[in-house]
Amino acid sequence: MKRLKVAVVYNSYEEAQHEAVPGDSSSGHHLRLMIRRMARTLRSLGHDVAIIHLAGDLSSLQRKLNRLRPHVIFNQYDDVVHGALYEMRFAAFIRMLGYPITGSPALALGLSRDKYMALSLMKGAGIPIPASTTLLERVSEVNRHKWHFPLIVHPGQEHAGIGMGRDSVVDTKKALREKVGEVIGAYKQPALVQGFLPGREFNVGILGGRKLRVMPLAEVDYTRLPQGIPPIMSYAAKWVESSVEFKRTRVICPARVEPSLAALINETAIKAFRVIGGWGYGRVDIRLDEDGLPRVLEVNCNPCLDEGIGLARSAERAGIGYPDLLQEVIRAAFDGPPYDIHLPIFTMKPAASPRPKRAKPHPVRRPV
């Protein structure tokens, strides 16, 4: 690939005046270290890299980009502060300015943050999801359904384990009511309730644009957890290094899976990623049901790209080192992302009057 001007754009959580998401302690320091590692790696590939911190001021970002004129925006905008919809708005904003952007387009980013909507789409497309997947806006709605316990309760629009704890798995209607009330009250969003899948859990790393590649499977191993702690990737298991959950949960990659099951998991993950409209890179979380068959928990568009963990770890097992992974992510941004190819692009110049005639819309080709 030729030498490119790359702008790595990120936002950090510390800019928020207050802690908008209860329980979130993700550190801006770690984030900045990751961004620097990424920039170093991109430079080692010969690219000309600028790091831009987006501190809430879109016009200043626009001015910086206008000066830099990068070939591509390396999207590291990951917003736990402002809420689910900002990620998609950022991607849409960049596309409207006319720059190619890495990862998924706005629509897919929005969908991957609205779990219920995404799961409903997948179900409609015949992709297996957890049984009884239901969205509750009010605690009183608990009484409208017939439940088969155990169930798991999530905040409907979160990610990264936020709102997932020991009491997220419930066995009784009373506990369900309490947890639903807590999610609605504390996170100011509906509660997503699902049948609890008791089987093995896998993370499926995906890389590519028009042509997708699946990375070696990673399995979350809960076998060393003490009794009484539910086997889930809770907030503690993901982030709180001092917790039992963190210490006793590990990821095995590559996972030991018989080839026919691995093929079924991979096929399910690819379908789910396509249905959501994911692009470039992603990670699909899958769990087996009581019959040992895979069901999709969620599609993560633009998952963490840090070195040595998650997608990068799976890619390494496939012989794709960190520099090659980042290069592939950039390559996919030029590989004709769906939906927005023919978007009219706004420039900084004020619109000339009279208003130009609207262009005839082009047919959108979906590269499935």
Ligand X SMILES: Nc1ncnc2c1ncn2[C@@H]1O[C@H](COP(=O)(O)OP(=O)(O)O)[C@@H](O)[C@H]1O
Can you give the binding site for Mg ion, defined by CB under 5 A? Answer: 285
Q: Measured from the CB of residue 171, what is the shortest distance to Mg ion in angstroms?
A: 22
**Residue 233 near ligand X by CB under 6 A:** yes
**Residue 42 near ligand X by CB under 6 A:** no
**Residue 113 near ligand X by CB under 6 A:** no
Q: Which is nearer to ligand X, 152 or 183 (CB)?
A: 152
**Residue 306 near ligand X by CB under 6 A:** no
Q: Measured from the CB of residue 52, what is the shortest distance to Mg ion in angstroms?
A: 28
Q: Quick one: what does residue 232 bind among Mg ion, ligand X, none, with the CB cut-off 5 to 8 Å set by partner type? A: ligand X
Give the x-and-dash track for 176-215 against ligand X (CB under 6 A): ------------------x-xx---x--------------
Q: How far is CA 340 from CA 31, 66, 327, 357, in A?
A: 29, 21, 22, 20
Query: Which DSSP state fits 365?
Result: P
CA separation for the pair 52, 226 (Å, rounded):
44
Q: Which is nearer to ligand X, 71 or 154 (CB)?
A: 154
Which range of residues in 84-92, 139-147, 152-160, 261-269 is near ligand X by CB under 6 A?
A: 152-160
Exposure string of 100-133, with b = 16+ CB inside 10 Å and e = fewer, is: bbbbbbbbbbbbbbbbbbbbebbeeeebebbeeb
Q: Quick one: what does residue 194 bind among ligand X, Mg ion, none, with the CB cut-off 5 to 8 Å set by partner type? A: ligand X
Count residues contacting ligand X (CB under 6 A)?
A: 17
Contact 316, 307 (CB under 8 A): no
Residue 288 backbone dihedrals phi, psi, to 5 degrees: -85, 145
**Residue 298 near ligand X by CB under 6 A:** yes
Q: What number of other Cβ atoms are within 10 A of residue 308's Cβ? A: 9
Place of tokens 């790696």: 41
In three-state form (DSSP H/G/I as H, E/B as E, the rest C), the secondary structure along 116-155 is: HHHHHHHHHCCCCCCCCCEEECCHHHHHHCCCCCCEEEEE
Nearest Cα to Cα of residue 209 among 86, 105, 321, 313: 105
Q: Measured from the CB of residue 298, what is the shortest distance to Mg ion in angstroms?
A: 5
Q: Measured from the CB of residue 333, what is the shortest distance to ligand X in angstroms?
A: 24
Q: Quick one: what does residue 196 bind among Mg ion, ligand X, none, with the CB cut-off 5 to 8 Å set by partner type? A: ligand X
Q: Quick one: what does residue 161 bind among Mg ion, ligand X, none, with the CB cut-off 5 to 8 Å set by partner type? A: ligand X
Nearest Cα to Cα of residue 314 among 240, 213, 233, 228: 213
> And the tokens for 306?
């840090």
Pairing of strands 250-252, 191-195: unpaired
CA separation for the pair 310, 223 (Å, rounded):
20
Q: Measured from the CB of residue 237, what is the shortest distance to ligand X in angstroms?
A: 8
Which range of residues in 43-51, 73-81, 157-165, 352-360 is near ligand X by CB under 6 A?
A: 157-165
CA separation for the pair 190, 135 (Å, rounded):
6
Q: Measured from the CB of residue 107, what is the shortest distance to ligand X in angstroms?
A: 18
Name the residue with the smallest CB distance to Mg ion: 285
Q: Measured from the CB of residue 15, what is the shortest distance to ligand X in angstroms?
A: 22
**Residue 160 near ligand X by CB under 6 A:** yes
**Residue 130 near ligand X by CB under 6 A:** yes
Q: Which is nearer to Mg ion, 105 or 163 (CB)?
A: 163
CA separation for the pair 70, 333 (Å, rounded):
13
CA separation for the pair 238, 246 (Å, rounded):
6
Q: Measured from the CB of residue 124, what is the shortest distance to ligand X in angstroms?
A: 18
Name the residue with the smallest CB distance to ligand X: 233
Residues that bind ligand X (CB under 6 A): 130, 152, 154, 159-161, 164, 194, 196-197, 201, 232-233, 285, 287, 297-298
